[in-house]
Amino acid sequence: MEKIHRYFNLLLLAFFILIINLTVFSQSKKDIEMLNGIFDQQNQKTDYKTYMRGNSNEFQLLASGLFLFYKSLISSQDGNHCVFNPSCSVYMIQSIKKNGILIGFSYGIDRLMRCNRLTPENYERFETTNLLSDPVWESNEKE
């Protein structure tokens, strides 16, 4: 009887050890799973090819082509000089697409002339990037 009792105690002990180990492992695995992606490099590249779509006329198509050429071959070799977000080239193409070639282009030129840090008080500032916020206006909005 005493032997059975001893075996039973041993069995109970083994069971507890197993349970503790299982919970420890499951918790560690949860930690591993949670911290697995913390050094992931998110793809920060913007796909400018999307601007080639949705052109309503040939002028917009030409502007989109020039924009893509500038972004992929020239701007990619340049530092970050623009003080705004979206940048002047993106503003120009978005403005052309929203307001048509003439008004959009003139808004773009207006933006290029404002691209300096002389009047930062006129814009909201992105805290993380320190860039000034200046989204595209539609012609009827501006009036």
Which residue ranges make up the site for another protein (CB under 8 A)?
20, 24-25, 27-29, 31-32, 34-36, 38-41, 73-74, 76-79
CB of 39 to another protein, least distance (A): 4
Residue 110 identity (one-letter amino acid): D
CB of 72 to another protein, least distance (A): 8
- Token code pair at residue 62: 């030409």
Contacts of 131 by beta carbon, 8 Å cutoff, 6+ apart: 82, 83, 84, 85, 125
In this complex, which beta carbon is closest to another protein, that of residue 36 or of residue 119? Answer: 36
Burial label, 115 (beta-carbon count in 10 A; 0-12, 13-18, 19+):
middle
CB of 138 to another protein, least distance (A): 33
In this complex, which beta carbon is closest to another protein, that of residue 27 or of residue 130? Answer: 27
